């Protein structure tokens, strides 16, 4: 089975540009998480979806960040306008079920550099 698929793997952009990151979760998984990883702050949960509905977006840094999940097989994380401090690796992860013991399965990540 295919794992969690993210694109692009690498993105270099200039400050002020719009960035869109994409994620395809594992088929049958109904929980989806977007994380950001930096050296300074470690792994931060940005937003959590269950059955395509955003349940917790308290980790979204500010209004420049938005996320959608239009269907069970696709999610996007958008940054507009981007800033240098947004440079990080963004991971998407999925899990079967809403709570309980299942572990998260992570994508390969999208490394974002904002100049």
Partner 1 sequence: ELKVEQNPLFLSMQEGKNYTIYCNYSTTSDRLYWYRQDPGKSLESLFVLLSNGAVKQEGRLMASLDTKARLSTLHITAAVHDLSATYFCAVGMDSNYQLIWGAGTKLIIKP
Q: Which residues bind partner 1 (CB under 8 A)?
A: 31, 42-43, 45, 48, 50, 55-56, 91, 93, 98-99, 101, 103-109, 111
Q: Quote the least distance from Cβ 67 to partner 1, whole Å.
A: 16
Prior bond to 81 cis, omega within 30?
yes
Burial of 90 (0-12, 13-18, 19+ CB in 10 A): buried
Give the shortest CB-81-to-partner 1 separation in angstroms: 27
Q: Which is nearer to partner 1, 64 or 102 (CB)?
A: 102
Quick one: 64 or 108, whose CB is closer to partner 1? 108
> Looking at beta carbons only, is 9 or 15 nearer to partner 1?
9
**CA nearest neighbour of 94 among 57, 60, 69:** 69
Burial of 4 (0-12, 13-18, 19+ CB in 10 A): buried
| Count of CB atoms situated within 10 Å of the CB of 29 | 18
Nearer to partner 1, 14 or 98 (CB): 98
């Amino acid at each position: 089975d295919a794992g969690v698929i993210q694109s692009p793997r690498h993105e270099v952009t200039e400050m002020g540009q719009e960035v869109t990151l994409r994620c395809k979760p594992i088929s049958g998984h109904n929980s989806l998480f977007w994380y950001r990883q930096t050296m300074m702050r470690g792994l931060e949960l940005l937003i959590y979806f269950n059955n395509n509905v955003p349940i917790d977006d308290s980790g979204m840094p500010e209004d420049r960040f938005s996320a959608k999940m239009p269907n069970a097989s696709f999610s996007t994380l958008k940054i507009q306008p981007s800033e240098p401090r947004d440079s990080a690796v963004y991971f998407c992860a999925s899990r079967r079920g809403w709570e309980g013991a299942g572990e998260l399965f992570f994508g390969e990540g999208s490394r974002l550099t904002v100049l």
